[in-house]
Amino acid sequence: MSRSLSPQPTILARFRAFTRTQSGIDLISQTVQYVILGLGAFIIMIPFLWMISTSFKNEFQVWDPEVWWPDPFVLSNYRRPFDVLPMKTFFKNTMITVLAGVIGVPLSSSLVAYGFARFRAPGSTVLFMVLLTTMMLPGQVTLIPTFILFRRLGWYDTLLPLTVPCFLGSAFYIFLLRQFFTGISKDVEEAAIIDGCGTLRVWWQILLPMTKPALATVVVFEFLGKWNDFFGPLIYLETLDKFTLALGMRMFQSDFIIEYGPIMALATLLMLPCVLLFFFTSRYFIQGISLTGSKG
Partner 1 sequence: MIKRLSRSNTLKFYLLVSPWLVGFVVFVAGPMVYSMYLSMTRYTMLNPPSWIGLANYTNLLRDARFLKSLRVTATYTFVGVPLRLIFAFAIALMLNNIRRGKDFIRTVYYLPSVVSGVAVVVLWRWLFNPEVGLVNHILGWFGIQGPGWLYDPDWALPALIIMSLWGVGRDVVIFLAGLQGIGVQLYEAARIDGAGGWQCLRYITVPMISPTIFFNLVMGIIGSFQVFTDAYVATQGGPMDATLVTVLYLYLQAFGNLRMGYASAIAWVLFVIIMFFTLLIIRSSTVWVFYETEIGGKKA
Residues in 155-184 that interact with partner 1 by CB under 8 A: 165, 167-169, 171, 174
Residues contacting residue 217 through CB under 8 Å, at least 6 positions apart = 176, 284, 285, 287, 288, 291
CB atoms within 10 A of CB 54: 23
Min dist CB 242 to partner 1, Å, is 16
Binding of residue 20 to partner 1 (CB under 8 A): no
CB atoms within 10 A of CB 36: 10
User: If you write DSSP's letter for every residue of 224-276 in order, what string do you get?
Assistant: HHHHH--HHHHHH--SGGG--HHHHHHHHHHHSTT-HHHHHHHHHHHHHHHHH
Min dist CB 12 to partner 1, Å, is 25
Binding of residue 265 to partner 1 (CB under 8 A): no
Binding of residue 121 to partner 1 (CB under 8 A): yes
> Which of positions 270-289 make contact with partner 1 (CB under 8 A)?
270-271, 274-275, 277-279, 282, 285-286, 289
Residue 172 burial (CB < 10 Å; 0-12/13-18/19+)?
Answer: middle
One residue of 70, 93, 98, 114 binding partner 1 per CB under 8 A: 114
> Which of positions 45-84 make contact with partner 1 (CB under 8 A)?
45-48, 50-51, 54, 62-66
Binding of residue 193 to partner 1 (CB under 8 A): no
One residue of 75, 127, 188, 240 binding partner 1 per CB under 8 A: 127
8 A C-beta contact, residue 252 and residue 263: yes
